[in-house]
Amino acid sequence: MIDKLIAKMLPLFPEKLVWIFSKRYISGQYIEDALSESRKLNQNGIMVTVDLLGEYIQNLAEADVYKEQYIDLIRRFTAEKVNGNFSVKPSMFGLLLDSEACYHNLADIVEAADQCNSFIKIDMEDSECTTIELEIFRRLKTKFPRRVGIVVQAYMRRTLDDVKDLMDLHSPEAPLNFRLCKGIYIEDESIAYKKYQEIRDRYVEDMRFMLENGIYVGIATHDKYLIDKAYEIIEQLKVPKDKYEFQMLFGVAPKLRQSIVDRGHRIRVYVPFGKQWFNYSTRRLKENPNMVWHIIKAMFVRQ
Ligand SMILES: Cc1cc2nc3c(=O)[nH]c(=O)nc-3n(C[C@H](O)[C@H](O)[C@H](O)COP(=O)(O)OP(=O)(O)OC[C@H]3O[C@@H](n4cnc5c(N)ncnc54)[C@H](O)[C@@H]3O)c2cc1C
């Protein structure tokens, strides 16, 4: 009831007030905010992956601006010795306007990461983007074998086949590096699993395949059931601790996160920041009172 009331009144609220609902899930608006939260996480033994939030772009000039901002971000975090890497959304770099331009923008970003001895993870967006993103990833991984990884979504029916198709790029020296998540977009049943337990089962299947084949896996979930399954598989296959990591979103499930740290596993937190966050979350909050879901979703879904 309170959520619904707040959502209805939201257009009347000053921005600072809306921020109160959003800030738990975002490190802040400025690079300094992301730096400060990342340092705190590092001090607690947690790595980060930093995401600069952006709006859906209208032209490639905007993509250029985001590219330069990411390159600055990578250089700044490297200079500050933050233990972390970077997450990018290809649609911010022109994926749906001109996929070739998007490839070149991302190649410039991965090159900057290469020069800084860092790493770029390509977030996976909705199904309109999947094939193009995987193709771009293939080209980037061929050019920068140790500097780039991609997200795959357990709810997509195609995911295990996609992973197997990429195995020709996998080697002990430059393993494939995936983030495995459930998937956050609304997809049609013809291409995506919809039932809660079915998605979990596919997640476990994908994770097992990856760990059995020496693929580096970012186990991205707050679902305790999946975390326990991961422990079981890791134990059973005796997977070394440097061959996988757990991943969680900023502000979500801190107790569960700490329990993973306490067990001695590597864990990374996804740290979003940026001025655009505010516009994203305001719109989402106005549309639907289910606030937490929309705040989280706003980080991944383009307008
Ligand atoms: C590091 C990271 C990166 C991601 N990158 C992508 C991506 O590139 N593309 C993509 O499609 N999706 C991405 N996602 C989102 C992901 O696909 C899921 O939508 C999201 O993680 C929720 O799924 P879950 O596995 O946590 O399970 P759920 O079943 O959604 O959640 C399990 C439990 O975790 C707790 N929980 C979950 N969310 C919250 C919350 N917001 N606040 C409080 N408690 C919560 C609840 O107790 C819940 O019951 C990413 C997620 C993470 C962690």
Q: Which atom of ligand 1 is nearest to the CA of 249?
A: 53
Distance, CA of 135 to CA of 202 (rounded, Å)? 23
Q: What is the pLDDT of residue 157?
A: 98
> Where does 27-273 sit in CATH, by number?
3.20.20.220
Cβ atoms of 74 and 35 within 8 Å: the answer is: no
User: What burial class does residue 78 get, using C-beta atoms within 10 Å of its C-beta: 0-12 exposed, 13-18 middle, 19+ buried?
Assistant: middle
Print pLDDT tens along the chain (303 aa). Answer: 555 666 556 556 667 766 777 788 889 989 999 999 999 999 999 999 999 998 778 999 999 999 999 999 999 999 999 999 999 999 999 999 999 999 999 999 999 999 999 999 999 999 999 999 999 999 999 999 999 999 999 999 999 999 999 999 999 999 999 999 999 888 999 999 999 999 999 999 999 999 999 999 999 999 999 999 999 999 999 999 999 999 999 988 999 999 999 999 999 999 999 988 766 666 556 555 566 666 677 777 765
Residue with the smallest CA separation from ligand 1 atom 21 is 221
Distance, CA of 12 to CA of 9 (rounded, Å)? 6
DSSP symbols for 272-299: EE-THHHHHHHHHHHH-S-HHHHHHHHT
CA 142–ligand 1 middle distance (angstroms): 30
User: Is the beta carbon of 220 within 6 A of some atom in ligand 1?
Assistant: yes
CA 221–ligand 1 middle distance (angstroms): 5
User: Is the beta carbon of 84 within 6 A of some atom in ligand 1?
Assistant: no
Domain spans in the chain, listed from the N-terminal domain onward: 27-273
Q: What is the pLDDT of residue 93?
A: 97
User: Is the beta carbon of 253 within 6 A of some atom in ligand 1?
Assistant: yes
Distance, CA of 180 to CA of 150 (rounded, Å)? 9
Distance, CA of 174 to CA of 141 (rounded, Å)? 9
Q: What is the pLDDT of residue 301?
A: 73
Q: What is the pLDDT of residue 16?
A: 73
Q: Which atom of ligand 1 is nearest to the CA of 253?
A: 44
Neighbours of 175 (CB within 10 A): 19
User: Is the beta carbon of 74 within 6 A of some atom in ligand 1?
Assistant: no
CA 227–ligand 1 middle distance (angstroms): 12
